[in-house]
């Protein structure tokens, strides 16, 4: 059974995951000396309990194959009509807001009403690209390469007579 992690070790784990897997910086944030942080970070990553805790947290964040396919299916089914009348105020609450790939805002100023933000253009994720990825997962599309080659072999190169009795099959 894994021993309980100290507060310092737990702080190291959280910092390590938050900073893009920089063990030195995580050790400093956990309270280890900056002079020895590189060695401490490396040592901490070899601790079985810490590795197990990091793996468990990464598993929580990981996307399952089913979730990946569901997200791709959402992208494939994305429709601009879902966003008719979109405003900045309701963008964050829109149930299909995760389909928006790019958003360009245009800010208009008028002295009477102060600044107003308008959505100039927006782009959804590419539905065809999502369909291609889904089709590959289901084996409907494969990347193939066909190589044709001709080789000429001489009988003497394939079968060499033995020195003992000149029998090529001996």
Summarised one tens digit per residue, pLDDT across range 138-159 is 888 877 777 888 888 777 777 7
**168 found inside a domain:** no
pLDDT for position 1 = 38
Per the structure, the complete domain to which residue 86 belongs is given by: 65-128
pLDDT > 80? residue 39:
yes
More confident residue, 135 or 158: 135
pLDDT for position 141 = 80
**80 found inside a domain:** yes
- Give residue 106's pLDDT band: very low, low, confident or very high (50, 70, 90): confident
Listing DSSP states for 85-139 in one string gives T--HHHHTT-TTGGGEEEEEEEEEEETTTEEEEEEEEEEE--HHHHHHHHHHHTT
Highest mean pLDDT among 43-47, 56-60, 84-88: 43-47
**102 found inside a domain:** yes
> Distance between CA atoms of 19 and 30, rounded to whole angstroms?
12
* Beta-carbon contacts of residue 92 (< 8 Å; ≥ 6 apart): none
Q: What value does the mean pLDDT of the chain take?
A: 83
**74 found inside a domain:** yes
Number of domains comprising the chain: 2
> Distance between CA atoms of 52 and 2, rounded to whole angstroms?
9
pLDDT for position 21 = 95
Helix (H) or strand (E) holding 153: none
- The verdict on 91 and 119 lying in the same domain is yes
pTM of the model: 0.49
Cα-to-chain-centroid distance, residue 75:
16
Strand partners, 123: 102
């Amino acid at each position: 059974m894994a021993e309980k992690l100290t507060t310092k070790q737990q702080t190291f784990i959280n910092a390590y995951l938050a900073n893009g897997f920089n063990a030195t910086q995580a050790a400093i944030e956990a309270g280890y000396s900056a002079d020895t942080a590189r060695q401490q970070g490396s040592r901490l990553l070899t601790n079985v309990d810490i590795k197990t805790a990091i793996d468990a947290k990464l598993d929580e964040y990981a996307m399952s194959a089913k979730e990946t396919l569901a997200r791709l299916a959402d992208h494939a089914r994305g429709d601009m009509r879902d966003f008719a009348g979109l405003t900045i105020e309701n963008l964050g609450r829109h149930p299909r807001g995760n389909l928006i790939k790019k958003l360009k805002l245009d800010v208009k100023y008028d002295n009477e009403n102060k600044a107003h933000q308008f959505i100039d253009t927006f782009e959804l994720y590419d539905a065809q690209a999502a369909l291609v990825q889904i089709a590959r997962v289901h084996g409907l599309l494969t990347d193939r390469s066909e190589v044709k080659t001709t080789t000429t072999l001489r009988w003497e190169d394939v079968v060499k007579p033995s020195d003992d009795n000149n029998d090529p099959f001996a």
